[in-house]
Structure 1
């Protein structure tokens, strides 16, 4: 084997002549290994290594003939290495001045990690231009591979496959491949562009296109996305052909025309942008002349946030739809099947270290349920908030909440409300205990447009002080939890609140309601949400919590019990008055009983009625990747809601086959309120999914959707995408195309 260093242009001729003068004078001299110095071994080229045009070419062969200053004939075990390009062949001719290689016989070229083989190769090594005949190829970045009649190399990072195939499947007989008359591979932009293309799956043509583009990596690119096909009970067959515009690394636009068999052509667009000072997304859908509704249908959704100056931000969240039935007729679109209130919110916020000021306007579009009408919330036009907080001022914590709001409603009483709520507390915190006395004062005044009865005051007001004491202790001990050493805590806590009674029956109710009882609400000073009602209180809350904590600090289990006791029955009410001397008893428990088993329960027990008003019990079993089983039982007797059982799972049931499903079963009506059932199959280079989903859209109404998806790794996804439905319906669901890591 003879190894011969050939310097690159322009030093090539000078170095050859000075090192091998004797050989250069004999044009037909056979160069033996003993005559020329042997170059040191060349390390294999690294992937994505940049071309070094000044690097010398390293040439080796069993036999070399010719003139080293002009042309070398190489035979048997030929190897030419230049920068990140390596060529091997049975025979080759190297034109030194032109830096060109003509090779034939078992040709193999590796360039930046990509591998090409063929019968004959011609390549200008410096420019990266040439061709190879009857080649096979394999790309490093995404395992893309195929064969062709010819590959033309147009530059180091561009090649055109002529009458060839492309697939990311291994082996000579791939499960899927595309065949194209001309396939341009641009590794600098990570884009493949195929013309006159047919996609084959299991030998059957499934998609044809005059032009198709696809990524050679995970980078985004512009082009026509694969069509999606689905069906719903409200619209029938749906076919969407999206086009993606990769405007910039931080901006894109997707246009998605959709043919809905029973309704017509729906046009949609989604624009996203992300900058250091602002970001957002806007979506628009329009269906002119809906054949079912005999009307124009549309929906808009826009979210935006922007930093105007340091501390000053602008935000909006705007949603709108053409009619009340939009969410039921188009359950899989932006409005969402279970979202009857479409928010429109615009706010300007200025924040400093100790205070925040907000100016906003808010209203809602109500998509009414035909069976159970929904109350329309008040519009806030405008709402001005000012909050401030300063901790540790001579040991005191100071805070202030204030608001001025204009409430508007098309049919109900309207007016202005202003309130100021200063607070002062003195927290005493030490190792093992804490104690916090607190005083606050809530002053409210209204300016009403109308009053219920002649002579009523249209500027009512209210002023209420509140005093509270919050204290607790933390005890610790060494313990074991399922045989493992833990630290167990015992944390008793008492919370006392006193607020005097004020008659508030003459005040309007713009935004107040009774808060659901929870552990957080047990330690709240007001039983109501909103600011139109302030509960009178002479009460104490007692609770105790015990936790099991690992040495690493991870909480493995928690048990808590708490109850509120009334020294005097509250007189301010909304709805049902409180007649008991104590609230319902709350119990909460949760824990990771093992690495794969988690359980949680929350109960609200009425001691006067001797019944569980609310309860939910849930367990999750997740022993490994793509294996999860969730069981949950809920009941809410306090609000006359039915009991329900919710079961969801993702589980392999055969080799490469995974089942997914969810059933939300109403015990009261003996019907499935919401359901999902599907299967997934994972091959080496493709995935198939079929999923059916039933979504409640209104009282006594539901929409059923059917998803089919064929995911060809490295090319695209064909069909409708069910992944969002799977993630929302099955907690703990994992994409089977991702790396198998433990959840």
Structure 2
């Protein structure tokens, strides 16, 4: 006979059972159940099954199992009473016991209530405590997680309980393991005693964590292991008195995996960073690092994000560097904030103790190449059509003795005003103005006032446009320490006339077997600015503008406001695009050149000699296929028919984990480099990674990376060797490896290989 009593509430267990099984004695049993409900505090326990209440014991154990370090995360609200009103359903082959107190079930027992289901050979249900003891081929499904063990005791309403010798599977983070016992202290919090933990599949996982106690809290999304040992391929690789990790990959406070490193400049390095998740929008990382040849370096990095502000600050220092016998430090801070709806404030502050700090401590060529450290603060007020900004800025120059550079001027301060309006009776107008105090320790200093009003009348029709524009550039200088014979006050007023025009033609075309739309877009841009002698004017911030497709359509061939180039010139360009039906641009071709009708008389030391026409610009970029893309840019001198500047690039990315990049960069007498990088599978689960940025001109490796990756479903291993230039005549080498255990963390030596590869290999894709 198969019994199916339905328990909608612990006190309704036996009235319902009697209605199904023994209807003749239903009134008597119902009365007994009601009596038990009112006298449960004094009712004697059944002699055959003496047990202690489960909830008080587990509550005491929960208090003793609080982690030493409180982890702050997102507390998900849980309805703890959700299962109290759910019916309890028990199925078994046979039943015995006292209905008002305890019922014993045997053979194919299945007990279900809310989010829990227990299956076993035998089970005892205590009505008053709403507790179940189950044994014999016991399995438990608890809110999606699965457990099997020798025996279990569970309180069905609260989700509290205890399992002996369990094997478990956690669905949320795909973790598994076994233990001597598991205590369920609440719906979110459980303690694994003398157990293992791994995110690998199978009975013999590649890696696992073994600990005395493992606290798992899904509410805080955290796990804390005490007296923990991490095994990889059954070899212990890490022991920690306490080890914390997130259960879902979210941020969490705690010690990060230690880092071991080695470099040619510092020797052996060891770091033990600590991450503090202050709040969902704030965190702090403390990273002490011991460098064998230099000493103990301490660093801290903080990040924050609010509705009206955001920022990041990092500070690091080394007291008494053993190599230099000096204190070494650096700071970098960025902050942006909206003080009021129309007021923005920001700063960007960078500083270092000495010229060699980046080259001695950085593991990236990007950082070691930074020789101008900006310190800047901005305050901007916005109106409906205008803005007013106040800026203070200067630079710290990190000098390379083999290639010294000139310190830029400080702006102490600079006041900027900008206003513009579109389509005012068909006209567009704008006004730019600035007042700047320039300061330099060794060169001429002074104040500069600039006023630049502009007025244009765009005429735009389908297929063509023409925009005449007039502007006035008025400048006043007041110098504090002019050179002998140089005036203190200088003025300049120069008008500029420009006309921009263009047309757009379209036709149907076919490109590599695909139907596309091809455009043909000729453009002419004329500029006229009269000549004015500016040889006595100081040069605070002007330089010859980089010659490219964006610059040839500008009115001034110089950057900044100290030089306004005389011009009587026209720029001609032709652009053709191949556009798919989806709107995606498949290919873009462009050619452009500037023609001069006057001899250019306003110059700077770095300006090229005056000619009748500029260099010819050619460019092409597009997707040859879904997997192959290319780009090319060429600046060709029409005078000597030689390349002045060239850049050619090619990328092939046939599928995930496969990418090959090749780029050639050339600038006459200055730069010639060949840059090749790749990520490519070598065998099943093996990937090779490499980059070579080689200077043909200097016959020197500017930056090189070589290594490999091995990826499994639950872990990955990376080995990287890196070499890069830290100064004109200096280079450094570094070695790093990383063992990434999914769900637990990344253990490694040296800098993070993923960061290195993402910066060096365009299109690199990591396992995560």
Q: 2:730 aligns to what? A: 701
Does the residue aligned with 1:327 lie in a helix, a strand or coil?
A: helix
Q: 1:668 aligns to what? A: 697
Q: 2:609 aligns to what? A: 578
Deviation per residue, 1:513-561 (Å, 9 max, x gap) = 0011100111000000010000000000000000000011000000000
Question: What is the 5 A alignment of 1:382-401?
Answer: 382-401=413-432
- Indicate if the aligned counterparts of 2:595 and 2:614 stay in contact, CA closer than 8 A: yes
Q: Indicate whether 1:5 and 2:36 are aligned.
A: no
- Indicate if the aligned counterparts of 2:6 and 2:13 stay in contact, CA closer than 8 A: no
Distance 1:463 1:273 in 2: 47
Segment of structure 1 superposing worse, 331-340 or 395-404: 331-340
Distance 1:8 1:320 in 2: 69
- Indicate if the aligned counterparts of 2:6 and 2:16 stay in contact, CA closer than 8 A: no
| 1:645, distance to aligned residue in structure 2 (A) | 0.7
Q: 2:309 aligns to what? A: 278
Distance 1:472 1:636 in 2: 31
Indicate which of 372, 382, 392 corresponds to 1:351: 382
Indicate which of 46, 55, 78 corresponds to 2:109: 78
Deviation per residue, 1:596-627 (Å, 9 max, x gap) = 00010000000101101111111000000011
Distance 1:299 1:579 in 2: 45
Does the residue aligned with 1:336 lie in a helix, a strand or coil?
A: helix
Q: Indicate whether 1:603 and 2:604 are aligned.
A: no
Does the residue aligned with 1:93 lie in a helix, a strand or coil?
A: strand
Distance 1:469 1:52 in 2: 77
| 1:72, distance to aligned residue in structure 2 (A) | 1.9
Q: 1:36 aligns to what? A: none
Q: Indicate whether 1:496 and 2:526 are aligned.
A: yes
Q: 2:72 aligns to what? A: none
Distance 1:469 1:295 in 2: 60
Question: What is the 5 A alignment of 1:23-34?
Answer: none
Deviation per residue, 1:96-123 (Å, 9 max, x gap) = 2211000001111111111111001011
Q: 2:484 aligns to what? A: 453
Question: What is the 5 A alignment of 1:108-507?
Answer: 108-332=139-363, 336-454=367-485, 456-507=486-537
| 1:662, distance to aligned residue in structure 2 (A) | 0.4
Q: 2:592 aligns to what? A: 562
Distance 2:286 2:88 in 1: 50
Distance 1:58 1:133 in 2: 24
Gaps of 5+ in 1: 28-47, 739-743
Q: Indicate whether 1:96 and 2:156 are aligned.
A: no
- Indicate if the aligned counterparts of 1:229 and 1:708 stay in contact, CA closer than 8 A: no
Distance 2:9 2:337 in 1: 54
Q: 1:33 aligns to what? A: none
Deviation per residue, 1:44-69 (Å, 9 max, x gap) = xxxx9974221111111122233444
- Indicate if the aligned counterparts of 2:11 and 2:128 stay in contact, CA closer than 8 A: no
Indicate which of 757, 762, 767 corresponds to 1:726: 757
Distance 1:540 1:335 in 2: 39
Q: Is the alpha carbon distance of 1:631 and 1:14 closer, same or farther for their aligned partners in structure 2, counting shifts above 3 Å?
A: same
Q: 2:47 aligns to what? A: none
- Indicate if the aligned counterparts of 2:365 and 2:726 stay in contact, CA closer than 8 A: no
Distance 2:364 2:624 in 1: 40
Deviation per residue, 1:132-177 (Å, 9 max, x gap) = 1110111111111100111111112111111111111111111111
Deviation per residue, 1:665-718 (Å, 9 max, x gap) = 111232211111111100121000011111211111112111110000000100
Distance 2:455 2:307 in 1: 38
TM-score (norm 1): 0.94
Q: Is the alpha carbon distance of 1:23 and 1:371 closer, same or farther for their aligned partners in structure 2, counting shifts above 3 Å?
A: farther
Q: 2:708 aligns to what? A: 679
Q: 2:665 aligns to what? A: 634
Distance 2:7 2:580 in 1: 65
Q: What is the total number of aligned residue pairs between the two structures? A: 714
Distance 2:658 2:112 in 1: 49
Indicate which of 558, 574, 580 corresponds to 1:544: 574
Q: 2:552 aligns to what? A: 522
Does the residue aligned with 1:407 lie in a helix, a strand or coil?
A: strand
- Indicate if the aligned counterparts of 1:4 and 1:59 stay in contact, CA closer than 8 A: yes
Q: Is the alpha carbon distance of 1:334 and 1:123 closer, same or farther for their aligned partners in structure 2, counting shifts above 3 Å?
A: farther
Segment of structure 1 superposing worse, 552-561 or 3-12: 3-12
Q: Indicate whether 1:714 and 2:726 are aligned.
A: no
Question: What is the 5 A alignment of 1:609-648?
Answer: 609-637=640-668, 640-648=669-677
| 1:130, distance to aligned residue in structure 2 (A) | 1.9
Segment of structure 1 superposing worse, 390-399 or 129-138: 129-138
| 1:370, distance to aligned residue in structure 2 (A) | 2.0
Q: Indicate whether 1:63 and 2:94 are aligned.
A: yes
Distance 1:333 1:540 in 2: 44
Segment of structure 1 superposing worse, 124-133 or 13-22: 13-22
TM-score (norm 2): 0.91
Q: Is the alpha carbon distance of 1:335 and 1:600 closer, same or farther for their aligned partners in structure 2, counting shifts above 3 Å?
A: closer
Distance 2:429 2:391 in 1: 25
Deviation per residue, 1:190-227 (Å, 9 max, x gap) = 11111111111111111001111111112211111111
- Indicate if the aligned counterparts of 1:26 and 1:67 stay in contact, CA closer than 8 A: no
- Indicate if the aligned counterparts of 1:299 and 1:335 stay in contact, CA closer than 8 A: no
Distance 2:707 2:438 in 1: 47
- Indicate if the aligned counterparts of 2:19 and 2:26 stay in contact, CA closer than 8 A: no
